[in-house]
Structures are given as C-alpha cells and as structure tokens.
Amino acid sequence: MIHIRDHRHVADIPSTFLAACVQGELVKLSRGGYARRRHFDSLSCWDRHRVCIAATAVDFPSAVVVGGSAALWHGLWTIDPAPADIELYRPGTRARMASRALTPIRLVHTPVHEREVIHRAGVRVTSIARTLLDVWRIHGPEAAFVSICHALRKGAIDHDGLRASFEECPWKGQLAAGIRIIEAATCEHEHPISALLHAQILLDGRLSVSAVRGTVLDVDQIRDPIFVKAPECPISHEIERSGAFDEEWDSCAPPGGALVIEPACIHARTAVTRLLAHQS
C-alpha cells in the first residue's frame, strides 16, 4: 500500500498519483491510499479488503476498525465472499467522513473503549472478543458462529474468555440466539462452509449436531454422516496447514455412505431442508 503521506516530497502529489491511476499503474484505495494495480488485481477479495483497511486506517488514525473488517484483519473466517464496506468506529464522527473516502465506509456508533482496542500491524482494531461480539451484532449469529469457530481453532480465544465477554457486554440482549452460539462453537471445523452449515442447523433447531470431524458433521437425527464439499478456503493461508495436509485436503473424499452437501446449498440456506428429508 502506498500513501501520499509518505510521499510529501513529490511535487503536486494528488495530480501525480491520479495520473498514475489513469495510466493504469496505480489504483486508488482511499482518500490518500493507493496500490500498484498489477499487484492489487492479483489478490483475493479478502486480501484486497485488507489492503483497503490499511489505507483507510492511515486516513483516519483515530478511528478503530470493527466488526467484519476487524475479523478479516485478525485473519478470521467470515461468510461474506466479497466484503466491500470498511466498518469503523470513531467518536464524534460526522456523516461526511464516509464521503471523503472512495472505499465505502460503514460507520458503527456503538462505543468502543480503549481497553477493547489493540494495535495490530499498525492498525487500531478491536480485540478478538470485542470483534466477535460486533460481528454477531452487525452481521448476525451465523456470521458470528463461523468467526468464533475459527478464533477457537487458532487459539485466539477460548470459551471461558468469550463467555465472560458476552456476560459483561452491555448490549448482549441484541445478540440473537444468546449463549447458545458460544456453547455450540467448536475448534473442530476445518472450513468456514462446514461451520456455516453447523450454525444453520443450530439456529433452525429441528436437528442437532453431535460431533464435528473436519468437514464431516454427525447429526443425531440422521443415520449417515454429513460431508460438506468444501472448496479451497479463500483465506486458507490463515489456517494452520502443512504441505502434507494440503495434499490430503485436495484428495479428500466423503466417507462411505455420507450425505454430501454442496456449498451452494448452504449459501442458499436450503441445506437444512434437505437434511430434514433424510431423517432416520
């Protein structure tokens, strides 16, 4: 990421950088942030968003990155395949703050206290616990469950720590499904898609997951295991994986007799209906 604040020695900075954008050498990310277009275009949607977060954080150094943007900055799974808005909190912010940046900014007004803020890679971002609670409040329980499962898998938080943060949260009444989300979350999921299916089963309430084995779910009411046909994770570099595991993952096949669930079925929220039709 290139920011005009680091190039004040260049004459007529705005015109110079904008000319480079017209020529296709740079792409404008935020009010003062740019990136080399060839490199930026080669990045995944998640990594492009992270670069835009870094640029916006320089534009507004007193702001705090929150919610889904904070989850991505921490390297946690999210259910948004192509995040666009950067979620920020800044005390006393006026609406015009969002209009001064080319990358869409979603202003979050729930107060963030300094004790809930950490500095990570030069960006002011909410702590893991506060981030998970914000994802829950802003994006709903499914999104929260997926991010919580990855935080548990990475060892970034444990159930006790998250449970304590939930109980202390002054707006926990706004968090749908309550403590059930925390209690059911597990570190055993190897992919966000299987965690998302688990969340949908939990919130539907007619079925219950008894065990998770990577991308295989055991459901009490269904005789056969449920195999989630998970694609390569878009932020797979954030998962603790060795070369040997990559080879095993690529050749992974459903266990014998398993009911295979496609990702499209999960994203369309029709997976639970299909599972109900296979009840024992």
pLDDT in single tens digits along all 280 residues of the chain: 888 777 766 667 778 888 888 899 999 888 888 899 999 999 888 888 899 999 999 989 999 999 999 999 999 999 876 777 899 998 876 555 554 556 789 999 899 999 999 999 999 999 999 999 999 999 999 999 999 999 999 999 999 999 999 999 999 999 999 999 999 999 999 999 999 999 999 999 999 999 999 999 999 999 899 999 887 655 433 333 333 333 334 435 666 678 999 999 999 999 999 999 988 6
Residue 274 CA from chain centroid, whole number? 27
Number of domains the chain is built from: 3
Q: Which residue spans within the chain are E strands per DSSP? A: 2-3, 26-28, 33-36, 64-65, 86-89, 105-107, 117-120, 123-126, 209-213, 216-219, 226-228, 259-261
Residues 6 or more apart in contact with residue 54 via CB below 8 angstroms: 1, 33, 121, 122, 123
What's the predicted TM-score (pTM) here?
Answer: 0.87
Pairing of strands 2-3, 86-89: unpaired
Of the candidates 188, 265, 150, 275, the residue with the CA atom closest to the CA atom of residue 225: 275
Residues 55 and 107 in one domain: yes
For 124, the domain range is: 44-187
Residues 59 and 183 in one domain: yes
Domain boundary among 131, 159, 187: 187
Residues 72 and 99 in one domain: yes
Residues 84 and 164 in one domain: yes
Sign of CA dihedral 90, 104, 95, 133: negative
Query: Distance between CA 254 and CA 242 in Å, rounded?
Result: 21
Query: Distance between CA 190 and CA 185 in Å, rounded?
Result: 13
Q: Which residue has the tokens 């802003």?
A: 138
Residues 246 and 262 in one domain: yes
Residues 80 and 124 in one domain: yes
Domain boundary among 164, 187, 210: 187
Query: Distance between CA 227 and CA 229 in Å, rounded?
Result: 6
Q: Which pLDDT belongs to residue 139? A: 95
Residues 93 and 147 in one domain: yes
Residues 223 and 125 in one domain: no
Residues 122 and 212 in one domain: no
DSSP 193-206: HHHHHHHHHHHH-S
Residues 229 and 248 in one domain: yes
Residues 183 and 54 in one domain: yes
Domain boundary among 144, 163, 187: 187
Residues 85 and 131 in one domain: yes
Query: Distance between CA 136 and CA 179 in Å, rounded?
Result: 12
The H-or-E segment that residue 98 falls in is helix 96-99
